[in-house]
A and B are shown apart, each in its own frame.
Chain A
Amino acid sequence: MSFRTRILLGLLAVVIVPLGALGIAVRTRVSSALASQYEQRVTALVAVIRHDIERQDRGIAERLAAMTSALSADNRFRQGVRAGGSADPYVLDYAADAMRQGGLDMLQIQNRDGRIISSGHFRNEYDLLEPALPRMLAKVPGRVALVSARRPEAPFLALSRLDSVRIGEWVLTVVGGVEVDRSFLDELGSGGEVTVTLALPVDSTSVVSVPDLPADSAIVRRYTVPYIRTAIGDAGEVGTARFEVTHSLAPLMALRRALDLWFAVAIGGAVLFAALIAADLARRISRPLSDLAEQSARLDLERLDVRFASERQDEVGALARVLGAMTNRLRASVRTLRDVERRAALGDLARQVNHDIKNGLIPIRNVFRHLSEVARKDPDGLAAVLQEREGTVRSAVEYLEKLAATYAALYPRLEPSRLDVNSLVSRVAAAAVVPDRVGVELELTDGLPPVRSDELALRRILDNLVTNAVDSLSGDGGRVTVGTGLVSSGQGAAAVRITVADTGQGMTAQELERAFADFHTTKEGGTGLGLSIVRRLVNDLGGTLRVETEPGAGTRFAIDLPAGGGSA
């Protein structure tokens, strides 16, 4: 699991767990509180309905009492009743006028037989028989009930009660009430989430619809009142009507959904924020570590130019500085090692020179010993012997001169100047002595910056490498590729890279380890100084040398020289 993933998961755990716990707690608490409020509201509304119905009942009773009092004192009504009732327009219209003045919606006056003699809500219902209505009203508690009444246009429900009046020998029943309609219920419910509906017995004609609400989506309380349904010439029936107070849970559900949404948004935001923080931390912590790892991977004894500089004051900066210090110590150790190697090489060289000089001086000493012996024993033959041995002396001197030239070549003196690498590479490739079976190819990159270097040393380096490459090819021939390019040196500086690659026999690891040792050669007649001189010259030029080889596949040398010619 990556460091970035660990940071992300950690942050998520820190944010989501408490946030989710908070959401669940708030949701539960709010739901409980609102449900409790709804319960209280519904219960209070049921009490209001009961109180309102009782108040309406009292009002109806008072108005009916006033009407019956006025009725008994109305001489014209009395005369109309005596004359037959409904034939008299005054009697016929009496209930309508009294109903309007009394603020009622229903008023019906019947005689003892149950015959309607005046109806306020249905004027022309006169002379019809409906005795069941007052009879049933007289039986229900409080003599008040919901009554299914009729108008010419449509039936309606009325909260009605019964009264009576005696006019002479006639006893008249008076049924009056107020309409219970949608507005009546809406006033009780005050609109909004609370609705008041009225449910009538199933076999009755419902004038107020009851909306279908799922039981779990509302809080419902009920209040019952007697219900009477009669019709002209019908026995009628008494049942129970229910006022149902319903508080929809939709607001609660909506609030829950809103809470869920907001918590989801908060968690989503936290996740996003955590991801951003993780990315930032990764950028600040993980990436520098990755960079340090990458730089460290490039370190080897042949390439210690990697720099671990950092301005950071945190652990990463400390680590970079530790690596930088370690690299510096390693670089010093390499120098020490190189000095040791050089000293060892110099010792070997001294011993070799001593041996070579001794070998060169031995013939000369033998010649002088012979001449001394001749001069002492045969002075006259000295000239002949000298002439005879002159070739030996001359050969020994030539040997010594050659030996001196050879050793002088081990360490030439450098004279840096601005060089066009592509031009030099082209000239070296063109001057190379190449058998017919070998092909030399150039892969040059245009627009390379110049390098500041010693032309003779660099040419010597390239001559050695090209010659070695050509020599490494077997009798079947092969290909030598010399290329140039621009690369980064590792500290952000540019470097010009020269590569010499062959398709020859390559080297084993052991061969590679010895390849740069002085006087080590695998070629007949070789001096064993070629690659040793190449490595020294590259180091002296401030460059780096890298070798990639594989037995049977070939070898590739890469020389990186700092780009930029500087002042010539």
Chain B
Amino acid sequence: MCCAVAAQACGTARPVERPVAEDGCIVVAEPVVSDTIALALDGVVDPAHAPVPATLAERSVFGHVYEPLIRVDCQGRVRPGLATTWQREDGGRRWVFVLRADAAFADGIPLTASAVAASWRLDEQHRPRPWADSVGGSVVVLGERELSVRLDRPHASVPAVFAHPGLAVARPSPDGSPWPVGTGAYTVTEVSHDRVVAVPRGAMERDALPTLVVTATGDDARDLVDAGFDLLVTRDPAVSAYALAAGSARSVPLPWNVVYVLAVPAEPGDPGGLATIRVREDFTAAAVGAAARTPDGTFWWEGADCVPPTVAASSGSDRAGRIVYRRGDRTARGVAQRLVALAASGRLRAALPSGGAGPRPAATGLDAARYDVALRDGADLGYVVALDRTVLDPCVAIRSITEAAPWPARLVPLVETRAQLVVRRLSGAVAVDWDGAPLLAISGREP
């Protein structure tokens, strides 16, 4: 659920706070003066996830290596990607895409419609569900570079949803490398547990783009600063402050792209779907360890035209008094602990099951696997869940939520967070994608 996917154009959801940039989504730009950029990412990059990212760090790397059929920029505008044109047929039940003529994999093999279809059927457990399943099963190859996708019904989010990273095109590496071969501007040439080297794959890209030397860490991100960087992406204000304190750097805030919610069992009087309860409690940046603000506006799950299936709620009397968070997510831990403190003071009665009359809550961190199991069981007092602030398709995202937590739930938005882009030296431009991920802008193909 926390990796909730897909797709609704930015314009239909809460407007993305646009970074100061004259060219739309370009947040920072410098002349191309160097052929290498050191990109430091606060998080881990696991090639096993490619091409579907699980973290912002992976998104910042995979976005350079893999391409979807189309692109959606930070303002929700649909742009060509691997497909140069797309056509709506049969009242929106059938979409026909024509691939770019020069599209090819990084190893030089031309991209064909069959390769796109094969890619969508590849490694399905990592693809966004249930959309990818439907798309993968309905694709029809019409020609060398032409394919069609049939849908069960017209979707308002099409074609924007084809910009989801989960539908990026990839092919298994012929040399056994864990990195699938992509069609993006970059190709990975060197990999170690905390270092990835990606080079521009073609002559045109080499002229316009520098080589990316990516370092990532899941531990103390200040080590990245000490090791030297040109660009740093982090959610921790202490890390960005440390980087800025080193001098010769500036910080660029990225869009508010994650909202932490408290998921609790629905109460008998709640409306159907994902009921949303508002609380006005202060989750300061100091408390949650990230740039934070109080949630405002509406969210994509509110008023969505898709009702999650109703499942009987478990009894509240036997519910464990735990507020569970995913271990390793420092912001989630801070949120959970603040929730426990507020619950002890009686200030969260409206948000907690049975008006907080149950056992005294305790914050409990679980590893990813156990967290997923606990969330599925729904036997705890509540769960701290990180949701994307922007999605391409609310119904797909809601389905993902209800699959991860198959019980009637209410969501209590608690705090929104965003990452910081710390720039020390830049050769070229950085633009934010529809989900707020920072990517190097390629001339003529920027998001």
A→B interface (CB under 8 Å): 86-89, 92-93, 122-129, 150, 152-155, 231-233
Contact = CB atoms under 8 A, between A and B. Distances in A.
Contact of B344 (A92, A150, A153): A150
Given A89-B286, A152-B362, A153-B363, A122 B238 contact: no
B345 A86 contact: no
Interface stretch (B20-28, B87-95, B335-343, B404-412): B335-343
A154 B361 CA distance: 8
Give the 9 A-B residue pairs with the shortest CB-CB distance, closest first. Answer: A152-B363, A232-B345, A89-B286, A152-B337, A124-B338, A124-B337, A125-B341, A92-B286, A152-B340
Nearest to A89: B286
Interface of B: 237-238, 282, 284-287, 334, 336-338, 340-342, 344-346, 360, 362-364
Nearest to A125: B341
Contacts of A155: 360
Contacts of A89: 237-238, 285-286
Given A87-B286, A89-B238, A153-B363, A124 B345 contact: no
Given A123-B337, A124-B338, A128-B341, A232 B346 contact: yes
Given A93-B286, A122-B341, A125-B344, 6 more contacts: A86-B284, A86-B287, A126-B341, A152-B337, A152-B340, A232-B341
B344 A232 contact: yes
B386 to A, nearest CB: 17
B346 A92 contact: no
Nearest to A116: B341
A127 to B, nearest CB: 7
A86 B285 CA distance: 10
Contacts of A152: 336-337, 340-341, 362-363
A122 B345 contact: no
Contacts of B284: 86-87
A153 B346 contact: no
B259 to A, nearest CB: 19
Contact of A233 (B340, B345, B363, B364): B345
A88 B360 CA distance: 28
B319 to A, nearest CB: 17
Contacts of A92: 286-287
B366 to A, nearest CB: 12
Given A124-B287, A127-B282, A152-B363, A231 B344 contact: yes
A128 B286 contact: no
Contacts of B282: 127
A128 B285 CA distance: 17
Contacts of A233: 345-346
Nearest to B343: A232
A154 B364 CA distance: 9
Contacts of A126: 287, 341
B338 A153 contact: no
B364 A153 contact: yes
A124 B341 contact: yes
A106 B340 CA distance: 17
B360 A86 contact: no
Nearest to A154: B362
Nearest to B345: A232
Nearest to A122: B341
Q: Chain B CB within 10 Å — which of A86, A122, A152 has the most?
A: A152
Contacts of B345: 128-129, 232-233
A150 B362 CA distance: 9
Contacts of B363: 152-153
A91 B342 CA distance: 19
Contacts of A150: 340-341, 344
Q: Chain A CB within 10 Å — which of B282, B285, B344, B362 has the most?
A: B344
Contacts of A88: 286
Nearest to A90: B286
Nearest to A92: B286
Contacts of A123: 287, 334, 337
A314 B364 CA distance: 93
Contacts of B362: 152-154
Nearest to B335: A124
A31 to B, nearest CB: 47
A87 B287 CA distance: 8
A315 B226 CA distance: 112
Nearest to B287: A124
Contacts of A232: 341, 344-346
Nearest to B284: A87
Given A89-B238, A232-B344, A233-B346, A122 B337 contact: yes
Nearest to B341: A125
B334 A124 contact: yes
Nearest to A87: B284
A86 B364 contact: no
Contacts of A125: 341, 344
B220 to A, nearest CB: 15
26 contacts: A86-B284, A86-B287, A87-B284, A87-B286, A89-B285, A92-B286, A124-B287, A124-B334, A124-B337, A124-B340, A125-B341, A125-B344, A126-B341, A127-B282, A128-B341, A128-B345, A150-B340, A150-B341, A150-B344, A152-B362, A153-B362, A154-B362, A231-B344, A232-B344, A232-B346, A233-B345
Nearest to A80: B286
Nearest to B340: A152
Nearest to B342: A128
Contacts of A154: 362
A393 to B, nearest CB: 149
A531 to B, nearest CB: 113
Nearest to A232: B345
Contacts of B237: 89
Nearest to B289: A89
Contacts of A124: 287, 334, 337-338, 340-341
B329 to A, nearest CB: 14
Contacts of A86: 284, 286-287
Nearest to B241: A89
A88 B284 CA distance: 9
Contacts of B344: 125, 128, 150, 231-232
Contacts of B360: 155
A232 B342 CA distance: 9
